[in-house]
Amino acid sequence: MTASSRSDYWLKLGTTPEQLMRSAEGFRTMAYAPYSNFFVGAALLMDDGSIVGGCNVENSSYGVTLCAERIAMANAVSSGKINPLAIAVAGEVSSFCSPCGACRQFLAEFNPDMDVLLMQNGSITSISLRSLLPYPFKLEDI
Ligand code: THU
């Protein structure tokens, strides 16, 4: 896959895009998704080399459901880590689970240039969050 060659932090931090995706798949098994039955896991690679993850958590009041990406980022912040370099998202095997708009904005707060690893049928694609969300809202921009 190409993400390893594009960014040098993988080597420096001793992990690989494949490992991060395996971790996202692990978090996916914890998903609470009784309404959609769409299970998602996300794993963040932080700048200290640690991996922090999350899964989607649904609710009877559908609108308050939280996506795996936001849960992962909130978990990271809750443990004092605010500098993500990459996020891997694992959805259903055959579906390309690209972060929703709300998650793009939420993640961009912490690193608008992080790499987003997506997987479909076992193959990983890396895309920058910047290209998924070219103009994130930033309060100081106004
Ligand atoms: N979901 C995520 O967790 N991440 C995404 O990137 C897209 C959607 C969740 C929210 C909801 O629990 C289920 O997938 C169906 O939308």
Q: Per-10-residue mean pLDDT for the chain, 142 residues long?
A: 65 97 97 97 98 98 98 98 98 89 98 96 95 95 60
Whole-Å CA distances, 70 to 2, 3, 59, 76, 110: 25, 22, 15, 10, 11
Q: How far is the CA of 40 from the centre of ligand 1 (A)?
A: 6
pLDDT at 140 (0 to 100): 83
Q: Which H helix or E strand runs over 106?
A: helix 101-108
Q: Tell me whether residue 140 is in a domain.
A: no
Q: How far is the CA of 20 from the centre of ligand 1 (A)?
A: 19
pLDDT at 3 (0 to 100): 47
Q: Which domain range does residue 113 map to?
A: 3-131
pLDDT at 141 (0 to 100): 60
Q: Tell me whether residue 142 is in a domain.
A: no
Residue 19's CB: how many other CB atoms inside 10 A? 15
Q: Tell me whether residue 31 is in a domain.
A: yes
Q: Tell me whether residue 27 is in a domain.
A: yes
Q: Tell me whether residue 136 is in a domain.
A: no
Question: Does the predicted model carry a pTM greater than 0.75?
Answer: yes
- Residue 96 exposure: Cα atoms within 13 Å on the Cβ side: 9
Q: Indicate the top mutation candidate among 30, 56, 57, 58 to test ligand 1's pocket, ranked by most ligand atoms within 8 A of CB.
A: 56
Q: What is the CATH number of the domain that holds 67?
A: 3.40.140.10
Residue ID of nearest Cα to ligand 1 atom 2: 67
Q: Tell me whether residue 71 is in a domain.
A: yes
Q: Tell me whether residue 47 is in a domain.
A: yes
pLDDT at 108 (0 to 100): 98
Q: How many domains does the chain have?
A: 1
